[in-house]
Amino acid sequence: MTEALAKVREELGTEAIILGTRTEKRGGVLDFMGQRLVEVTAAIDDSGDGPDDTPRERPSPIRPSDAALFPPEPPVTYDRNKGRTSPAPQSRVEVQNMSNQVDLDRMMKEIGDLKSSVKVLADSALSGDMSGLPPKLASLLKAFQTIGLENGIAKRIVRQLLDDLSGQELSDGVIIAKRATDMLITSIGEVSPIIFAGAKPRMVAFVGPTGSGKTTTIAKLAADFTLNMRKDVSILTIDTKRVDAVGQLKAYCRILNIPLNIAYTPDELPSLMPIIMKSDITLIDTPGSGPLDKPQMIEMVEFLQKLVPQEVHLAMSVTTSYEEMKRIHDNFSVLKPNRLLFTKLDETDRYGPLVSFAINAKKPLSYCTFGQNVPGDFAVTDTVRLIERSLETVSDVKKSR
């Protein structure tokens, strides 16, 4: 059969179609022991045309001697991961780079896990024992507690530093102190001293508890505006119930040669307005008031409603506790203070309550006073110097800076 098929391909070509085969034996006895013959019926289709309706050209038959020109095709294989592309062979350099990348990824993961562990310990430390904090951060938190910074603010700063700083930076006291200072400065906000703008006269009221230093502060500012800024200044006092409050202001005004106006009731204000209107600025002294003195607070509201001051400065001593500062602010909120003024900075080096209240009150700072001299011993608040001075009082942080 093989020989017959080869004959067909030799004579008709590889496109021959086998139509049928028949085998028979000839010779011998009754066809036994005869020769076995194979008859193959084949044909080739000459009528089919190509795609362009042109007659197909019969290819030349392939002879056995030409078989070497047509090697057998490789068998089809079926990959289980059909559709996936196998990676190209990698050089030794590429394999080494991949190994380095794996090592780097593992290292970064370990650093991340370590930092997470530090944060867990830090959270535990911030709620009590500080043994879980990095040493420099523990020193900073202790410094915050020493200067009286409000606990919530101190913890927020430490947590933020844990998030922002790398492992090496967390061991650098200089970097930690600088970042903490910058965060506190940014949190306090703007500084806004008295400005001479708009309609004359500028009305500026000073409110606050008894003993907060309002009267002395007014004398300091009046001296500076008169002697250094050449402004026409007048003083109006409605603090007529405190012993010798008016007498103290009279002495200052006589020395500075500026007018002093006294109003015992809100109804007396209209008669004083012609004198007040001649000034560039009028500084208004108000009585101190306790949280239970509601009638006094109501009367001050009536005074300020008629005076309509552009600025109301809430004066507080820096020796006051943070909680007391909040209580004072709540008590005087009906007078709508829009500036914060801190006095007696020379009487303490713990400025944490001042900084804490300034951050949480979200009001501009105006002035700080630090002595009894008139003129002098006051300045526009310098938040940078104030915070740096606060931290410098703590030995561990001071050495870091």
Question: How far is residue 325's CA from residue 113's CA, in Å, rounded to a whole number?
Answer: 42
Where b means 16+ CB within 10 Å and e means fewer, 286-308 reads bbbbeeeeeeebebbeebbeebe
The first and second tokens of residue 170, run together, are: 């967390």
DSSP calls for 365-394: EEEEE-SS-SS-SEEE--HHHHHHHHHHTS
The first and second tokens of residue 33, run together, are: 């022991």
Beta strands in 145-280 (DSSP E): 202-207, 233-237, 260-262
Fold of 202-381: Rossmann fold (3.40.50)
User: So where are the chain's domains?
Assistant: 2-68, 111-188, 202-381
Contact 340, 366 (CB under 8 A): yes
Question: How far is residue 128's CA from residue 281's CA, in Å, rounded to a whole number?
Answer: 52
Residues 6+ apart with CB under 8 A from 199: none
Walk along the chain (401 residues) and give the pLDDT tens digit of each residue.
667 767 777 777 766 666 677 766 665 544 445 566 777 777 766 655 544 455 555 545 555 555 555 555 454 443 455 545 555 555 555 556 666 666 677 777 666 666 555 554 455 545 555 567 888 998 899 899 999 999 999 999 999 999 888 888 988 989 998 999 999 999 987 999 998 877 778 999 999 998 899 999 999 999 999 999 999 999 999 998 776 778 888 999 999 999 999 999 999 999 999 889 999 999 999 998 776 678 888 999 999 999 999 999 999 999 999 999 999 999 999 999 999 999 999 998 889 999 999 999 989 999 999 988 888 999 999 999 888 888 876 655 555 54
Whole-prediction pTM: 0.66
Question: How far is residue 308's CA from residue 168's CA, in Å, rounded to a whole number?
Answer: 56
